[in-house]
Amino acid sequence: MGNKKINKVADGITENLFEFAEFDESEAQRAGYSNYSYWRSTWQVFIKNRVAFFCLILMIVLVTFTIIQPYLPNQKLPTKIYIDEKTNMQLRNHPPDAEFWFGTNSIGQDLWSRIWSGTRTSLLIGLAVAIWEAVVGIAVGALWGYVRALDRPITEIYNVLDNIPVTIVLILMTYILRPSMTTMIIAMCITGWLAMARFVRNLIVIIRDREYNLASKCLGTPTSRIITKNLLPYLVSVIMLRMALAIPAAIGYEVFLTYIGLGLPVSIPSLGNLINEGRALMMVPSLRYQLIFPAIVLSMITISFYVMGNAFADAADPRNHV
Amino acid sequence: MEDSKVILSVKDLVVKFKLRGRILTAIREASLDLYEGESLAIVGESGSGKSVFTKTFMGLLDANGWVDSGSIMFEGQDLAKYKTENDWIKIRGKKIAMVFQDPMTSLNPLKTIGKQVQEAVELHQGLKKEEAKKAVIEILRDVGISEPERRYKQYPHEFSGGMRQRVVIAIAVACKPRILICDEPTTALDVTIQAQILNLLKRLKDKYNLTTIYITHDLGVVANVADRIAVMYAGDIIEIGKCEEVFYNPQHPYTWALLSSLPQLGIKGKPLHSIKGTPPNLFYDIKGDAFAPRNPKALKIDFVEKPPYFTVSPTHKAKTWLLDPRAPKVEPPESIAILRKQWGLNKDE
Amino acid sequence: MLKYSLKRLAQSLVTLFIIVTIVFLLMRLMPEEGYFGQAYEKLDEAQREAILAGMGLRDPIHIQLMNFYKSLLSGDLGISNIYRPKVPISEILKAKIPYSLYFGLTAVGISLIFGVSLGIIMARSKSKIWDKLGTGYIVFINAVPAAVYYLFIQLYLTDIFKIPMLFKPDDPASWILPAISMSLGGTASYAMWMRRYMVDELNKDYVRLARAKGLRNKAIMVKHVFRNAFVPMAQYLPSTILYTIAGSIYIESLYSIPGMGGLLVDVIQRQDNTVVQALVLIYSSIGIIGLFLGDILMALFDPRINLHKKGGAR
């Protein structure tokens, strides 16, 4: 062992290689350099998930479409009842054709426009609830997690509230306040913020005591920077996840309440209403389209948001970053 | 020690990992001869590859890692070629055992420690139930756990950190392996407990004639327990020799830097010595000596060609071009001389 | 262990008390037509007041509360005014509970068995075919509102399997679809959590040690991983029960099963306040009992749990 390699090596080596090389301090650092950016990596991991990316595109297209749909040419009003010129009677249960792309419902309204109008309504409800959840949930969660004095009392309150089945509360509230769009939003908001608050609180408790935050403080990092660089990225991903999941949840509850009879009045089309109306007719095979179309649109929306939410949460986890 | 036989011989081992689509070379042609009955310490920074290196001896690499080339000769078999569970079952626990760093998480929190030790005993000693239980109690007593019959029924969370580590050691030693690998066994423990655990390991080594490998970044531990010391950097063993040789006569610039960074060399009021820069990115191929970019005394050839081992003494060798006869004479930094004096003073035992 | 159970029991009772009181108070806000039904129109102000006062609804709140608890403790849940006028609610419920109970327990049982099994299979075949299929199933169940897929199941599967659409007590075939439908949500839930917990455990240090000991993979899976992963599952028992309750509300009306869920839909539509109140109370209690059971089960399996610390995150 030992110097046996020296002869072989000597062949390609000249004497001057044994001189000192220039020492470049920046070279020493370069090996460890990386141009890592948290949000860029999150986005990259997200789009690598092709299913989630597809859902994102789908949702962007769908939402844009629901917004511009009323302004497109040849669109009909969702509540207008169409009369058959020949018989002068309501155009009931007309199957899909060139004029009524999704057909008409049992009182002669155009299903195509009703579905998009319903989608708008349902998305609006979902969005309103999601935003409320975010605002109140974060506020309560932050206080709950940060202010140690509040931890016990709020935890006790949470335990009590958590035990009440959400569906029961929803039923109660809509029953008492009588169904309407506002009632529905209020009821879902009252039950929805709890989960978000819990998530935010758990995260804050974990992060608050993490050593890297203490270390940052020791280094003299201003609190605002600790919040934006250390805490916020953690929170944002969870918040976006919850918000993304809030939309299918809201739609689900809306369908549930409509089913029980506590949903929106029939004059406001919503996905829940449409499904219910379709359900009434499902025994008749030829009329099933009235159930299938809204169901498909609804499923697309809920599945997409669910998948996107989860994919984003996975992507935001630094352990999955390249 | 030169007369002892070699029980494990690693030659030019290359270990790679697939990480998020890219390939990382964790071990770059490392070689090592392990002598029977010795106590070897492997030191190096985090990320130098110490743990990965020893995991290959037991097939404990993560699922995304593999041995790319090289050989690990043990009892006439090349462990680098082992692929299936059936192959490794013959080695793990029976011939080669490992003690992990964190005793808190190494034990199953939902099983009594008695059962966990018994699992190992039943597996390797072929004893059943009652006899196994007796053996377990004996082992527990051996590693210094008092009232073993009572402790047998207790759960890990009822033990202190030091006790838990004793249990883990008990599991490892239960089957009288030939080689015991201790991966930073005391890093997670209090300083006072550290000494106890190290003494326990020494005692067990003598009693069962084990060959031990200590992985550590704590040079204090090394001085306490090791016969030989191997210095790892960027996946390669760049210097290896008897403890006194490496401490008193280090040859590789990295070893100099490592020893210079010891806090006891610090002078009050002056900044501590630290090595500039960071270890190299192992996703890229490294040309020449891996430590060159951080070495102020690097030679041009260090960036061109990887140095082979140069012999300093029959038991001491280092991979540095500075030992080549054509290289200029470079003195180790002043701190080494200071260290020698410090240790020289304390070497009265 | 005993001490823990007793303490939890006391906590549950307190929570129950609080919830019942809250529900009771909320109920006072119910529209008053709900006490009269058809008669509402026919009576004038004075008569309505008289009847309400007779029901005790005009007494000061704390008196109402006390009376309420008194009657509760003696088993009196009140009288229905609209659904079955003058009939004590407990009577009505007696006939309905067996159906709900049967379907509910069956659904929870099916969810447990299939869900846990699916979760294990998914963890073992991580990222391979079973994992992908299972994930697809879970996504579907979680995203699409239950109402929708329940409908489609009723619609299409009854055709395919020639099962009657509506429930008949004496026709065993008609018991199948409702029970299975009710268990879908719980199955997805258990599968998801089981898979997650097993994958988590597989990454833990003690699994590495077990492997270093020389244990075979199979033995590690069975003796260590599965058992450890199953422990936090116990806490999902209550949410499964809650889920099943919610599901039962749909399923019972879809299939015309004469259970409590269907009753709830009915009385809501008919605005029979007292019955609504009674049902809400019962469902809340079930939820709390479920949570209590879940905690006790967890404590049974996990020796680390005591009064002050809870193993595993909720």
Q: How far is A32 from chain B (nearest CA, A)?
A: 6
Q: Which residues of C touch A201 (CB under 8 A)?
A: none
Contact A305 C152 (CB under 8 A): no
Residue A269: the pLDDT is 85
Closest CA to C154 of C168, C169, C167: C167
Report the neighbours of C using a cutoff of 3 or more CB pairs below 8 angstroms: A, B
SS3 call for B229: strand
Mean pLDDT across the stretch C153-175? Answer: 75
Residue A159 has what pLDDT? 75
Find which of A49, A152, A164 to mutate to test the C interface (most C CBs within 10 Å of its CB). A164
B283 located within any domain: yes
Which pLDDT band, with edges at 50, 70 and 90, does C178 fall under? Answer: confident
DSSP label at residue B4? S
Separation CA A234–CA A208 (nearest Å)? 12
When divided into structural domains, chain B yields a total of 1
Q: Which residues of A touch C284 (CB under 8 A)?
A: 163-165, 168
ipTM score of complex: 0.80
C23 touches chain A (CB under 8 A): yes
B93 contacts B124 by C-beta, under 8 angstroms = yes
Higher-pLDDT residue of A249 and A150 is A249
For chain B, the distance separating the N- and C-terminal CA atoms, rounded to the nearest angstrom, is 21
What pLDDT sits at residue B56? 92
Beta bridge partners of B8: B34, B74
* Residue C308 scores a pLDDT above 50: no
- Model confidence over A68-85: pLDDT tens digits? 888 877 777 777 777 766
> Which residues lie below 8 Å from residue B193, measured CB to CB, with a gap of 6+?
B161, B162, B165, B186
**Percentage of residues of chain A with pLDDT beyond 90:** 1
Q: How far, in Å, CA of B12 to CA of C240, rounded?
A: 56
Question: Which chain B residues have a beta carbon less than 8 Å from that of C231?
Answer: 110
d(CA C132, CA C122): 8
Residues of A within 8 A of B321 (CB-CB) are: 18
Measured between beta carbons, the chain C residues lying within 8 angstroms of B168 are 209
Are the Cβ atoms of C139 and A303 closer than 8 angstroms?
Answer: yes
How far, in Å, CA of A5 to CA of B308, rounded? Answer: 7
Grade residue A32 by pLDDT with cuts at 50, 70 and 90: low
Which of chain A's residues have a Cβ under 8 Å away from the Cβ of C291?
163
Considering the domain boundaries, does residue B302 fall inside one? yes
- Taking 50 as the pLDDT cut, the residues of chain B under it are 1, 348-349
Residue A199: list chain C partners with CB under 8 A: none
- Torsion angle defined by CA atoms of residues C113, C115, C116 and C121, in that order, rounded to the nearest 10 degrees: 120
C-alpha torsion A111→A112→A117→A121, nearest 10: 80
Distance from CA of B203 to the nearest CA of A (A): 34
Report yes or no on B54 lying in a domain: no
- Interface check for C269 against chain A (CB to CB < 8 A): the answer is yes
Which chain A residues are within 8 Å of B294, Cβ to Cβ? 28
Q: Using CB atoms within 10 A of its CB, is residue B305 exposed (0-12), middle (13-18) or buried (19+)?
A: middle
**How near does any CA of chain B get to the CA of A15, in Å?**
7
Q: In the complex, which subunits touch B with 3 or more CB pairs below 8 angstroms? A: A, C
The CA–CA distances, whole Å, from B349 to B265, B340, B344 equal: 22, 15, 10
Q: Which amino acid, one-letter code, is at A40?
A: R
Inter-chain contact C143–A167, Cβ cutoff 8 Å? no
Angle ∠(A222,A228,A232) on CA atoms, nearest 5: 135
Q: Does some domain include residue B47?
A: no
Query: CA A118 to CA A270: how far, in whole Å?
Result: 4
Q: Rounded to 5 degrees, what are φ and ψ at B103? A: -65, -20
Interface-testing mutation among C208, C209, C304, with chain B (most B C-beta atoms within 10 A) = C209
In a domain, B203, yes or no: no
Beta bridge partners of B232: B237
pLDDT recorded at residue B291: 87
Of the candidates A106, A102, A125, A124, the residue with the CA atom closest to the CA atom of residue A115: A102
pLDDT band at C305 (very low <50, low <70, confident <90, very high): low
B172 assigned to some structural domain: no
Our CA-based measurement puts residue A287 at a distance from the nearest CA of chain C, in whole angstroms, of 13
Residue B292 domain-assigned (yes or no): yes
Choose the mutation target among B106, B153, B155, B184 for the interface with C, i.e. most C CBs under 10 Å: B106
- What mean pLDDT, rounded, does chain C reach? 78
Name the residue of chain A whose CA is nearest to C146's CA: A252
CB contact under 8 Å between A260 and C269, yes or no, is yes
Q: H helices of A209-270, where? A: 211-219, 223-225, 232-260
Distance from B22 to chain A by nearest Cα, in Å?
9
Question: Is B35 inside any structural domain?
Answer: no
Q: Which residue in the set A168, A248, A282 is minimally distant from C283, CB to CB? A: A168
Residue C312 banded pLDDT, cuts 50, 70, 90: very low
- Note whether C221 contacts B: Cβ–Cβ < 8 A: no
Separation between Cα atoms, residue B280 and residue B235, nearest integer Å:
10
**How many Å apart are CA A161 and CA C114, to the nearest integer?**
30
Residue A5 backbone class (left: φ over 0; alpha: ψ -120 to 50; beta: rest): alpha
Nearest to B93, CA basis, from C211, C221, C202: C211
Which chain A residues are within 8 Å of C147, Cβ to Cβ?
Answer: 252, 255-256, 259, 275
Residue of C nearest to B99 (CA): C209
pLDDT of residue A31: 53
Query: Is 60 exceeded by the pLDDT of residue A10?
Result: no
The residue of A54, A152, A168 whose CB has the most chain C CBs within 10 angstroms, and thus the best one to mutate to test that interface, is A168
β-strand pairing of B39-43 with B211-216 = parallel
What range defines the domain where residue B292 resides?
253-342
- Asked if C206's CB is within 8 angstroms of B58's CB, the reply is no
* Residue in chain A nearest B327 by alpha carbon: A18
Residue C310 has pLDDT above 60, yes or no: no
- pLDDT of res. A43: 85
C283 touches chain A (CB under 8 A): yes
B→A interface, C-beta within 8 Å = 20-22, 276-281, 292-305, 308-311, 317, 321, 324, 326-328
Q: Sorting pLDDT into bands at 50, 70 and 90, what band is A4?
A: very low
Is B328 in Cβ contact with A19 (below 8 Å)? yes
Mean per-residue pLDDT, A13-42: 69
Contact B159, C304 (CB under 8 A): no
C117 interface with A at CB cutoff 8 Å: no
Determine contact, residues A310/A138, Cβ cutoff 8 Å.
no
Residue-level pLDDT at C311: 37
Of B303 and A282, the one with more pLDDT: B303
